[in-house]
Chain A
Amino acid sequence: MGVKVSLSVSLGVVLAIVVVALVGGEVSTLQPVFGIFVPYAAFVIFLVGFIYRVVDWGRSPVPYRIPTTCGQQKTLPWIKQNKIENPSSTLGVIGRMILEVFAFRSLFRHTKAEMASGNIVYGASKWIWLGAILFHYSFLIIAVRHLRLFLEPVPFFINGLDLVDGMFQIGAPTLYLTDLLLIGAVSYLLVRRLIVPKMRYISLANDYFPLFLILGIGISGVLMRFFIRVDIVSVKELTMGLATLHPVMPEGIGAIFFVHVALISTLFAYFPFSKLMHAGGVFLSPGRNLANTNRAKMHVNPWEYPVKIHPYEDYEDEFREKMKEAGIPVERE
């Protein structure tokens, strides 16, 4: 698929969801579909799909240690081991996984190859790491902040998070820093795919789609908070109905809310089928979660069975008479 097709398909699907929700959100008989049924269905698909994918990975045997090693492995006592990049113990693996999951260490190690006066030179390139970590942590804070709509009374730590996120008190309601960071970071990740030729070459519709989707979620949320305002009390009435399993559909919530919800529902439902599953996959990556004990320990292939063998002694027993007739020498008479 060319870049134009990938882009127009992924952007087209996102825009179609926006239009459907905009139109459906205005029709009062359809509101329960967009406000209650779609979110519940998406959430169930997400949970079941996520667990299915993880169990499926768990059932796949990984008989040998295949960690990606990028440091000195454990060897002679006077050679210093790199315990994080080439772990030989569970503790090292845990350290490596914590750095990977919380600090995106493998992205941090990203380098860029460039030609400098006729030589190829590898230099540090932290932009992708910065964009990714800003995006992920902003998204996490935004998701946790949204619990204020799903919990009653609102716990103190969510109120605290809200205050910190809006600490500059810009406008009313206050501008959230994570809103800016999320939209900025996702835009960077999108633009990077579009303007770097190598990135554009390897990017597919399923790379662009989540970026457009998350950008749509961010933009619709910001629009709803600052520009096309909705009654937040009615919104919480709806979300609390969902969270207490007694769904209600309050009247008078603007269509922009249904756009926001439809895009989030799409993200939830799409999640288990997509590259977004790296959220669960990072924990099950044999390249990260195995210690490099290839030679230090015995690793047995779990599907190994006793192999049927036919040694020469048996062969001779089977064909001794025929061999004698043909004049072939035999070892035992």
Chain B
Amino acid sequence: MYDAWKILVGLAIFLGLFTFAFWMNAGKAAPIPEPKIDTPEIKKMAEAERKCVEDKHFMRTTHMQLINDWRDQALRDGDRDYINKKGKKYVISLQNTCMKCHSNKKEFCDKCHNYTGVAPYCWDCHIVPEEEPKGNES
């Protein structure tokens, strides 16, 4: 090979860049996040009533679009009524509806958002809920 060392250095850089993720992860396990749904508000509910506004699959994949639509509907149109797919009515409010049950932002929202590198801009306007200083029982 002509100019062998230049080409080999180039190929080494190429290989290093493209296998970067393998080296970074070598010997590491990547635990799957488990968002906690054991807040006092959820525990208070009967087993059958422990339902989010929409079904689990929809919430997992599409909650961000739902919340975005909620914002537009509540703040731009002044309409705070949401009827879900089963016909049940909810009040559109992040603080009073979503966060009423999911009061554990650190153990719920942040788990998956940090895992997938998502930085939602909810908290640009909303106040981040206080959690930890209240002790164990809350």
Enumerate chain A interface residues (CB-CB to B < 8 A): 46-47, 50-51, 54-55, 58-62, 147-154, 158-159, 162-163, 169, 171-174, 229-233, 236-237, 240-241, 243-246, 252, 280, 283-284, 302
Contact = CB atoms under 8 A, between A and B. Distances in A.
B25 A151 contact: yes
15 contacts: A51-B11, A55-B11, A61-B2, A147-B21, A154-B114, A162-B118, A162-B119, A172-B65, A232-B112, A233-B112, A244-B30, A246-B29, A252-B57, A284-B7, A302-B2
Contact of B117 (A148, A230, A240, A252): A148
B1 interface: yes
B112 A58 contact: no
A51 B119 CA distance: 38
Contacts of A62: 2
B68 interface: yes
Contact of B25 (A51, A59, A230, A243): A243
Nearest to B67: A172
Contact of A240 (B11, B18, B25, B118): B25
B4 interface: yes
B64 A152 contact: no
Interface of B: 1-4, 7, 10-11, 14-15, 18-22, 24-25, 28-30, 32-33, 57, 60-62, 64-65, 67-68, 112, 114-121
Given A54-B7, A154-B117, A233-B116, A59 B22 contact: no
A159 B115 contact: no
Contacts of A241: 30
Contact of A244 (B18, B28, B57, B115): B28
Given A59-B2, A162-B117, A151 B24 contact: yes
The 10 closest A-B pairs by CB, nearest first: A148-B117, A154-B117, A172-B68, A150-B21, A240-B30, A172-B64, A229-B61, A58-B1, A58-B7, A152-B30
Nearest to A59: B1
Contacts of B11: 51, 54-55
A58 B116 contact: no
Contacts of B121: 169, 174
A236 B116 CA distance: 7
A243 B22 contact: yes
A254 B123 CA distance: 30
B18 to A, nearest CB: 7
Nearest to B32: A237
Nearest to B27: A244
Contact of B10 (A46, A54, A173, A243): A54
A172 B117 CA distance: 14
Contacts of A51: 11, 14-15
A147 B20 CA distance: 9
The interface centre, meaning the residue of A47, A149, A154, A244 with most chain B CB atoms within 10 A of its CB, is A244
A43 to B, nearest CB: 8
B10 A229 contact: no
B117 A173 contact: no
A63 B28 CA distance: 49
Contacts of A231: 57, 60-61
A123 B59 CA distance: 56
Given A54-B11, A169-B121, A148 B116 contact: yes
B61 A244 contact: no
Given A152-B30, A171-B68, A283 B10 contact: yes
The interface centre, meaning the residue of A169, A233, A283 with most chain B CB atoms within 10 A of its CB, is A233
B63 to A, nearest CB: 9
A173 B57 CA distance: 17
A314 to B, nearest CB: 36
Contacts of A158: 117
Contacts of B3: 58
B15 A152 contact: no
